[in-house]
C-alpha cells in the first residue's frame, strides 16, 4: 500500500468509509460523490495506479466482488466503469471500479460515444499490433 494514497488509507481504516464488503484481495465501499443512489467502488487492496499495475490474484478477485455488489444494489441497469489515467478521467491514483446504478435517463452515468467508421484493413492492422504485443 502507498502511504499517501487516499484509497490505501481507506483500506487501512485511517479514513472512514461506508464499507460494503471486504475479501483478502478486494475492498468495496460507497462513493462519497455519487452519480446515483447506491453508487459504490470496488478496489484491489494492492496499490496500483493503472489496471496493468495490479497482479493477477487481486484482479481475479475484483470482478466476482463487483458482481456480488452489483447484485446487492438491486438495480436492473448499471455501469461498471474503470478509468486509467487523467485523460481517461481517473481522479484517484489507485485502481478502482465504479458500480453506478442507472435508475433512469437523468441519473447515473451519462456517456457520449463518438464512434467513428473504420475500414476493415485498419481494424485488422490494429488487431495484429495488439496480438503481437501479447
* pLDDT tens-digit map of 23-63: 999 999 999 999 999 999 999 999 999 999 999 999 999 99
Of 25, 47, 94, 96, the catalytic one is: 96
Residue with cell 491514483: 93
What pTM does this model have?
Answer: 0.90
Strand order in the sheet with 40-44: 19-22, 26-30, 40-44, 97-101, 78-81
Per-residue pLDDT tens over the stretch 52-95: 999 999 999 999 999 999 999 999 999 999 999 999 999 999 99
Per-residue pLDDT tens over the stretch 16-32: 999 999 999 999 999 99
- DSSP annotation string for 40-68: EEEEESS--SSGGGS-HHHHHHHHHHHHH
58 is catalytic: no
Q: With the CA atoms of 91, 38, 97 and 95 taken in that order, what torsion angle do they form, in degrees rounded to the nearest 10?
A: 50
Amino acid at each position: 500500500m502507498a502511504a499517501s494514497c487516499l484509497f490505501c488509507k481507506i483500506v487501512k481504516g485511517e479514513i472512514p468509509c461506508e464499507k460494503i464488503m471486504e475479501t483478502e484481495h478486494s475492498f468495496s465501499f460507497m462513493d462519497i460523490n455519487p452519480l446515483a443512489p447506491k453508487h459504490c467502488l470496488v478496489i484491489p487492496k494492492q496499490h496500483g495506479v493503472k489496471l496493468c499495475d495490479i497482479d493477477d490474484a487481486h484482479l481475479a478477485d475484483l470482478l466476482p466482488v463487483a458482481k456480488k455488489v452489483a447484485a446487492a444494489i438491486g438495480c436492473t441497469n448499471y455501469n461498471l466503469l474503470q478509468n486509467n489515467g487523467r485523460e481517461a478521467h481517473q481522479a484517484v491514483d489507485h485502481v478502482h471500479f465504479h458500480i453506478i446504478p442507472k435508475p433512469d435517463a437523468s441519473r447515473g452515468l451519462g456517456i457520449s460515444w463518438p464512434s467513428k467508421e473504420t475500414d476493415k484493413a485498419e481494424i485488422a492492422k490494429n488487431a495484429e499490433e495488439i496480438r503481437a504485443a501479447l
